[in-house]
Chain A
Amino acid sequence: MTTLENTTGTTPVATDLIAGFPFPFPEDRYRYSTNVEPAEQPVVTPAGQWGAAVVDIDSEYRSELDQRAAILAADPSRHAVLPHMVPAAWDTMLTLMRELDAVYPEQMHLENLGGDEWLWRNDILGIEQRFRYADAATLPDEPLRYIASQVQEDIALLDQRNDQLFVDAGVVTFAADWSFGFDVGMSFLEIHGPVPRIRKEGVITRAHEFLKRLQPHQPYRRTNWTLTIDRRLDVSTEIYHEWGPDRETIQHVDDEEFGRRVHLRVEVQHLIRLPDSGAIVFLIRTYLLPLDQLATVEPWRRRAAEVLAELPADMAEYKGIIKYRDRAAQYLRDAAPVAPLPSGPGMPEWPTTPPPVDTTGAAFLVVAIGRDPETAHVSRNWVSTAEAAGTTRLLVLDSLTEEEDRTALAAAFDDAVIGTRIMVAGGQYDVMTALALAREEGAVPAELAAYVTDFGDLPMYCAHCRDTFRVEAVPGGVVACPGCARDLEIHEHHSPTMGSYLASAAGGDE
């Protein structure tokens, strides 16, 4: 397994846990909502991707299954199947086997041997099991518990009767501050009774109506989140005495330990109407990422800091994070990357956070260049603030290496009148090029704002061919000139007017 060695010497985290992390915040503010969406739509994040399937196996597979087995052995109340839920338990098992077979065809195999006879093979765990559907004597364990020992997801089953849903079965070993043993047999509405705000806002009622109408073969999903101290999946009510005190003590540890131990905990919940029993299954897959790792993905760091700082107190209280969420927000803010460029007098001074919209302007031109999701995010935020202050135009371009895009930008500057504020977001090459163009059109610094989302490239002026090129390099580095093929050293010397860094033949004068 590949790991990211992190520089502060903290616990290594498998790269797939960052790449597959379902970062849950689409905006800088979090409120409860009926946030259900069709499942199986992959979500691309700045670190990778998640959400292609309703079951997910990652490098923690064996470890989490071992933990589940130990918890079930110690506490039987984490597993329940009320008598009328036996068909739903079988249905869940077969449904999950089908999903595993479809999503991981190399390792998981479900084969129908005719009628109700089946063969199941899980190559990761070395399992081969023949069974007869609905015949308990053909399985080594109760079917729900059997399949729960082969998926990382917690499972809760809902029965629908009398126009309501009841949690009447499940295997839940990784509950986030609730008690499955207590909740078994309760209605969906009763279970969510303690959540603040949702009753008034109708969030749960809408979810309830939605679930009652859910049809087979149309899985949906939603996310939920909280903070958890240490990589601890089981933070159930039953063992509160083991993890509850950490909320107090975590306030007194140093920053390094804080960032290593406090995790953003995200649940991806899949909601599926079972095709045989008609019951509803909730699959709850829990992902944990320590804040020090989260902070390595810049858009996540900034977004999570905003959400934690802004979260209303009653919601923070219910999530059990009121004591340390301010510290968590501050930790993330302090983890802002130091500007990756040396900041000598010859270097541009880029802001480390997107500059605010100058609302004294009468009109606004927002230019977003490139496909970086952060560029899109920053420019969207500018647009929504600017729209309240005056006429706003958003210009989205691919790259200023394209003649077409340069022409479009020049035309937009041409159309701009005095009173307009110009805001540019994108990679360094595009931002510097755009700002130079704006200056050429006559814009003054008070009318310009910029935010660089990526320092991987820059505009380089070759002193020998007297032309400017886009190169993927940093000041102080050496690069082959795309024009004259000389090896050039890029100097820490830039010209806003030229919109470029100076470069000249490397080693010539040394």
Chain B
Amino acid sequence: MSTPVAETAAVVESGTGSSRTDRATTLELVVTAIDVPAEGIRSITLADPAGRVLPGFVPGSHLVVHAGPHTNAYSLTGDGTHPTHYSISVLRVEDGNGGSRWLHDELAVGDTLTVGLPRSAFAPIARARKHLLIAGGIGITPMVSHLRAAARWRRDVQILYTFRENAGAHLQDVAELAGGDAELFTEQDAFVARLGEALREQPIGTHLYVCGPAGMIDAVIDAAHEAGWPDSRIHFERFGIDALDAGDPFRVRLTASGRTVDVPSGTSMLEALEEHGIEIPNLCRQGVCGECRIPLSGGSPIHRDLYLSAEEKDAGDAIMPCVSRAGEGCTLEVPL
């Protein structure tokens, strides 16, 4: 038994080298294809320039993309088990932070794009007996990887997808992966009526997943509550769909340094602190990754992140300054 094992010790040193894509913090990927599946939507395919396999991802994962000067997160739509490429679909948002416009106007095939590793925040529930997916508009993107996993593992799945006429994306994926379990809507009334029914005919053990514009998500959650769904069965992702509103102006008091920073409407607390030379580690700047968490010693925050748990938000002793704010004219105290 001596020989094979004796060799391994030496190999450990060299074996865990930097050749692995799945131990990097960011990846430099090359754009291999750009398609326009519908008006205002660009589907972008990315691959490793050296052809290496990319880090796998859980269905519903998103990719943080450095789009020129901006940073946005987009749902991955491909198969995450052994990905040779990543695919994202980007809706052009005219009044967003500029990231989607950059990806539409500046990016070309052959360009290099810096992305983070995929992050999972909207995963299928393994023990669900059935998965009911509700998608609105570009909110179809995380559902595509959910449908892929459902097909692989033969999960019972049903999807309702509503979109504006001629603006549907991934229609072929949905048809191939969900077949007769997919229902498509281009009229609001028909969708709302069918949603009400669908929410009332699910077997016990079903979990509900919602992604789409904020107003649509709220409406689906309200309808589910009305139909008696407990919150623990309802999963939604607002992220990447539409920009958070600009918010009201407020003030931050830095108790350690005795300074005060004004945060105007349209500027994040993180940006305002940075403008005053206060460096805070950060990554996604969208309330997802948790990097920029800072302690809070006073004031009533309006939490808008997806990182802190409900208990942590209630405790009010931490805040994600990249997205969270305070009410108009209020003051937050931070021990910095």
Q: Which residues of A approach B to under 8 Å, CB–CB?
A: 1, 16, 20, 40, 52-53, 57-59, 61-62, 84-88, 94, 102-107, 112, 116, 123-124, 133-134, 159-163, 168, 209, 213, 215-218, 273-279
Chain A CB within 8 A of B282 CB? no
Among B82, B120, B126, point to the contact of A88 (Cβ < 8 A).
B126
Cβ of B58 and Cβ of A40 under 8 Å apart? no
Cβ of B55 and Cβ of A217 under 8 Å apart? yes
Chain A CB within 8 A of B193 CB? no
Give Cα distance in the complex from A16 to B125, angstroms: 43
Shortest CB distance A445–B (Å): 47
B125: which A residues are within 8 A, CB to CB?
Answer: 161
A163-B232, A216-B22 given; name 19 further pairs at CB < 8 Å.
A40-B16, A40-B23, A59-B1, A59-B6, A61-B1, A61-B5, A85-B126, A86-B153, A88-B126, A94-B81, A103-B12, A104-B12, A105-B11, A112-B82, A116-B81, A134-B152, A159-B126, A273-B120, A275-B55
Chain A CB within 8 A of B15 CB? yes
Q: For residues 43 through 61 of chain B, which have their beta carbon under 8 Å from a beta carbon of chain A?
A: 53, 55-59
In the complex, which residue of chain B has the Cβ closest to the Cβ of A107?
B4
Shortest CB distance B9–A (Å): 6
Can you list 7 pairs linking A and B with CB atoms under 8 Å apart?
A: A61-B5, A62-B1, A103-B15, A104-B12, A107-B8, A124-B4, A276-B56
Shortest CB distance B24–A (Å): 9
Given contacts A58-B5, A87-B126, A161-B126, contact A52 B23 (CB under 8 A): no
Shortest CB distance B264–A (Å): 32
A160: which B residues are within 8 A, CB to CB?
Answer: 123
Cβ of A102 and Cβ of B16 under 8 Å apart? yes
A215: which B residues are within 8 A, CB to CB?
Answer: 117, 119-120
Chain A CB within 8 A of B290 CB? yes
Give Cα distance in the complex from A106 to B14, angstroms: 11
Shortest CB distance B59–A (Å): 8
Chain A CB within 8 A of B188 CB? no
Shortest CB distance B111–A (Å): 24
Cβ of A278 and Cβ of B56 under 8 Å apart? no
- Pairs A-B, 4 closest by C-beta atoms: A275-B56, A278-B58, A278-B123, A84-B127
In the complex, which residue of chain B has the Cβ closest to the Cβ of A118?
B82
Cβ of B12 and Cβ of A53 under 8 Å apart? yes
B153: which A residues are within 8 A, CB to CB?
Answer: 86-87, 134
B232: which A residues are within 8 A, CB to CB?
Answer: 162-163
Shortest CB distance B143–A (Å): 16
B290: which A residues are within 8 A, CB to CB?
Answer: 213
B307: which A residues are within 8 A, CB to CB?
Answer: 213
Given contacts A87-B153, A161-B125, contact A216 B6 (CB under 8 A): no
Cβ of A278 and Cβ of B5 under 8 Å apart? no
Give Cα distance in the complex from A88 to B81, angstroms: 12
Shortest CB distance B6–A (Å): 7
Interface size class of B (residues with CB under 8 A): 35 or more
Chain A CB within 8 A of B301 CB? no
Cβ of B127 and Cβ of A216 under 8 Å apart? no
Among A53, A58, A61, A161, point to the contact of B16 (Cβ < 8 A).
A53
A124: which B residues are within 8 A, CB to CB?
Answer: 4-5
In the complex, which residue of chain A has the Cβ closest to the Cβ of B312?
A209
In the complex, which residue of chain A has the Cβ closest to the Cβ of B61?
A216
Interface residues of chain A: helix, strand, loop or mixed (majority)? loop
Chain A CB within 8 A of B166 CB? no
Shortest CB distance A296–B (Å): 20
Of B5, B53, B152, the most chain A CB neighbours within 10 A belong to B5
Shortest CB distance A19–B (Å): 8
Cβ of A278 and Cβ of B81 under 8 Å apart? no
Among B8, B22, B149, point to the contact of A104 (Cβ < 8 A).
B8
Shortest CB distance B63–A (Å): 12
Interface residues of chain B: helix, strand, loop or mixed (majority)? loop
Shortest CB distance B23–A (Å): 7
Among B8, B53, B56, B123, point to the contact of A106 (Cβ < 8 A).
B8
Cβ of B15 and Cβ of A105 under 8 Å apart? yes
A163: which B residues are within 8 A, CB to CB?
Answer: 232, 309
In the complex, which residue of chain A has the Cβ closest to the Cβ of B57?
A275
Chain A proximity mask over B35-79: 1 for CB below 8 Å, otherwise 0 = 000000000000000000101111100000000000000000000
Give Cα distance in the complex from A84 to B149, angstroms: 13
Cβ of A279 and Cβ of B126 under 8 Å apart? yes
A168: which B residues are within 8 A, CB to CB?
Answer: 127
Chain A CB within 8 A of B124 CB? yes
Chain A CB within 8 A of B249 CB? no
Shortest CB distance B124–A (Å): 7
A134: which B residues are within 8 A, CB to CB?
Answer: 152-153
A57: which B residues are within 8 A, CB to CB?
Answer: 5, 8
Chain A proximity mask over B284-324: 1 for CB below 8 Å, otherwise 0 = 00000010000000000000000101000000000000000
Give Cα distance in the complex from A58 to B4, angstroms: 10
B124: which A residues are within 8 A, CB to CB?
Answer: 278
In the complex, which residue of chain A has the Cβ closest to the Cβ of B24?
A217
Shortest CB distance B268–A (Å): 22
In the complex, which residue of chain B has the Cβ closest to the Cβ of A63?
B1
Give Cα distance in the complex from A106 to B56, angstroms: 24
Cβ of A59 and Cβ of B126 under 8 Å apart? no
In the complex, which residue of chain A has the Cβ closest to the Cβ of B125?
A161
Shortest CB distance B126–A (Å): 4
Give Cα distance in the complex from A377 to B53, angstroms: 44
Among B13, B58, B82, point to the contact of A216 (Cβ < 8 A).
B58
In the complex, which residue of chain B has the Cβ closest to the Cβ of A275?
B56
Chain A CB within 8 A of B2 CB? yes
Cβ of B81 and Cβ of A217 under 8 Å apart? no
A52: which B residues are within 8 A, CB to CB?
Answer: 12-13, 16
B4: which A residues are within 8 A, CB to CB?
Answer: 107, 123-124
Cβ of B22 and Cβ of A217 under 8 Å apart? yes
Chain A CB within 8 A of B20 CB? yes
Chain A CB within 8 A of B213 CB? no
Shortest CB distance A124–B (Å): 4
B80: which A residues are within 8 A, CB to CB?
Answer: 275-276
Shortest CB distance B245–A (Å): 26
Given contacts A161-B126, A216-B120, contact A275 B58 (CB under 8 A): yes
Give Cα distance in the complex from A52 to B8, angstroms: 12
Give Cα distance in the complex from A275 to B120, angstroms: 9
Cβ of B58 and Cβ of A277 under 8 Å apart? yes
Give Cα distance in the complex from A323 to B232, angstroms: 46
Chain A proximity mask over B77-120: 1 for CB below 8 Å, otherwise 0 = 00011100000000000000000000000000000000001111
In the complex, which residue of chain B has the Cβ closest to the Cβ of A56?
B12
Give Cα distance in the complex from A116 to B5, angstroms: 30
In the complex, which residue of chain A has the Cβ closest to the Cβ of B9?
A16
Cβ of A217 and Cβ of B23 under 8 Å apart? yes
B120: which A residues are within 8 A, CB to CB?
Answer: 215-216, 273, 278
Give Cα distance in the complex from A40 to B23, angstroms: 10
Chain A CB within 8 A of B275 CB? no
B56: which A residues are within 8 A, CB to CB?
Answer: 216, 275-276
B11: which A residues are within 8 A, CB to CB?
Answer: 103-107
Give Cα distance in the complex from A106 to B9, angstroms: 11
In the complex, which residue of chain A has the Cβ closest to the Cβ of B120?
A278
Shortest CB distance B326–A (Å): 25
